[in-house]
Amino acid sequence: MDIPKKKISKDQKENTANQQISEVDSEIYDFLDSELEKGNPNGFSSGFSKNIIRKIETKQKRKLNIRMYTLISILVLISISLLISVLNTEFISMLCTVFLHYRFLSIFFLVTVVLIQFGERLINAKKGIN
Amino acid sequence: MFDEDKVISDILKGNLNTFQIVVEQYQNLVYSILNRMLTNDEDIEDIGQEVFMRVFENLRLFKKESKLSTWIARITYNIAINYLKKEVNKKYDNLDHSIDFQFSSETPESRLIGKEFDAYLNKLIRELPLQYRTVITLYHLDELTVQEVQKITKFPEGTIKVYLLRARKLLKEKLQKDGYP
């Protein structure tokens, strides 16, 4: 088999019986081998490794956030279920009455919070573009 | 000196600076494989990033049965193959077609030297059927033996040698026809 000469020893000199090739072929194979083993002059962009590290950091941050949110959600769910089990129905109905009495104020408060959040995101997105 | 064991344990402890050293150490290997396996230059950078992300995420699973470079080359090969299957399925070569393969590149009008010749040879390699260009690329990269190419591609050793023989023969004939060396 006419595989590159320098690698024959590494490959335990297998199939050397099939190495009988003409001198002309040998010359061009040598030429081909030397060309094939030349390093590639091109490569990834200069900031390639930094970009990868940045990507990993972002991914790790996202994972951490997801874990935190999951933990918080679980805690909130446990607290709510505990609260419900502790409170009696009378108290819950009283809470509902209070909420209904101040429903416009409560809705206004909720809408304001949502709008502030939305506005903040919009401003951050614009900052990111600029 | 690049101490693989120390580097791996450092990365597993969460040291990203060490991982950056690994990226810098093996990015040429990954680039060389992708550059010859994929025909679209624009995707090489993105897929290169995907390779190293996969390396980072799966380093815990690296069993040290081979060199780190062989393991990284294997990940690169698998990602490139999956990409080709998804994106270029029309071009995903069937081995049966390889037997009648012919280069589409015409003989250059004048004898090429230096970088021009390197680019021409690279073009010829990229025209080879996928199996041939994969094997010839992996084999001719430093440090990779037939056994290591086998670990990466999962082709039987005999098949690798046949692909290598045919790929080299095709290139030799083409270069001879073009008047080289």
Q: Considering CB atoms only, which of A28, A52, A56 is closest to B181? A: A28
The total number of structural domains that make up chain A: 3
For A54-68, B24-38, B78-92, B133-147, which range has the lowest pLDDT when averaged over its residues? Answer: B78-92
CA A30/CA A15 separation, integer angstroms: 18
Non-local CB neighbours of A11 within 8 Å, separated by 6+ positions: A3, B145, B146, B147
Contact of A50 with B21, CB cutoff 8 Å: no
- Mean pLDDT across B106-132: 80
For A3-7, A60-64, B46-50, B161-165, which range has the lowest pLDDT when averaged over its residues? Answer: A3-7
Examine the domain organization and report whether A72 and A97 are in the same domain. Answer: no
B9 or A31, greater pLDDT? B9
- Determine, for residues B142 and A37 on separate chains, whether the beta-carbon distance falls below 8 Å: yes
B112 or A67, greater pLDDT? A67
For A4-18, A89-103, B121-135, which range has the lowest pLDDT when averaged over its residues? Answer: A4-18
Contact of B126 with B44, CB cutoff 8 Å: no
Amino acid at A29: Y
Examine the domain organization and report whether A79 and A93 are in the same domain. Answer: no
Examine the domain organization and report whether A107 and A92 are in the same domain. Answer: yes
Specify the CATH number of the domain B93-181: 1.10.10.10
Q: Is B27 on the interface with A (CB under 8 A)?
A: yes
Residue spans of alpha helices (H) in chain A:
5-8, 23-36, 48-86, 89-101, 103-129
Q: Please state, for a pLDDT cut of 70, what percent of chain B lies above it.
A: 90
On the question of pLDDT at B70 being above 80, the answer is: yes
Contact of B164 with B148, CB cutoff 8 Å: no
Q: Is residue A44 part of a domain?
A: no
- Mean pLDDT across B46-69: 92
Examine the domain organization and report whether A81 and A100 are in the same domain. Answer: no
Amino acid at B103: F
Q: What is the mean pLDDT of chain B?
A: 83
Q: Considering CB atoms only, which of B53, B136, B168 is closest to A52? A: B53
Q: What is the pLDDT of residue A29?
A: 84
Q: Is B9 on the interface with A (CB under 8 A)?
A: no
Non-local CB neighbours of B152 within 8 Å, separated by 6+ positions: B70, B73, B74, B77, B138, B144
For A113-122, B26-35, B82-91, B156-165, which range has the lowest pLDDT when averaged over its residues? Answer: B82-91
Examine the domain organization and report whether A92 and A119 are in the same domain. Answer: yes
Distance from CA of B30 to the nearest CA of A (A): 9
Q: Which among A23, A1, A22 has a CA at the least distance from the CA of B165?
A: A1
| ipTM for the assembly | 0.73
Q: What is the pLDDT of residues A64-110, one digit of tens each?
A: 999 999 999 999 999 988 887 777 777 778 888 888 889 899 899 99
Distance from CA of A68 to the nearest CA of B (A): 19
On the question of pLDDT at A44 being above 60, the answer is: yes
Residue A87 DSSP class: S
Q: Which among A24, A38, A29, A23 has a CA at the least distance from the CA of A2?
A: A29
Q: Is residue A45 part of a domain?
A: no
On the question of pLDDT at A1 being above 50, the answer is: no
Range of A22's domain?
A: 5-36
Residue with tokens 């951050």: A124
Q: What is the pLDDT of residue A64?
A: 94
CA A130/CA A127 separation, integer angstroms: 5
On the question of pLDDT at A61 being above 60, the answer is: yes
| Interface-testing mutation among B75, B139, B157, with chain A (most A C-beta atoms within 10 A) | B139
Distance from CA of B90 to the nearest CA of A (A): 27
Out of 1.10.1740.10, 3.40.109.10, 1.10.8.50, 1.10.3720.10, the CATH code matching B1-91 is 1.10.1740.10
Closest residue in A to B44 (Cα) is A44
Q: Is residue A21 part of a domain?
A: yes
On the question of pLDDT at B131 being above 50, the answer is: yes
On the question of pLDDT at B23 being above 80, the answer is: yes
Domain ranges of chain B: 1-91, 93-181
Q: What is the pLDDT of residue A16?
A: 43
* pTM listed for this prediction: 0.67
CB atoms closer than 10 angstroms to residue B38: 18
Examine the domain organization and report whether A27 and A56 are in the same domain. Answer: no
Q: Is B88 on the interface with A (CB under 8 A)?
A: no
Q: What is the pLDDT of residue A8?
A: 47
Q: What is the pLDDT of residues A23-41, one digit of tens each?
A: 777 888 888 888 777 766 6
Q: What is the pLDDT of residue B59?
A: 93
Q: Is A17 on the interface with B (CB under 8 A)?
A: no
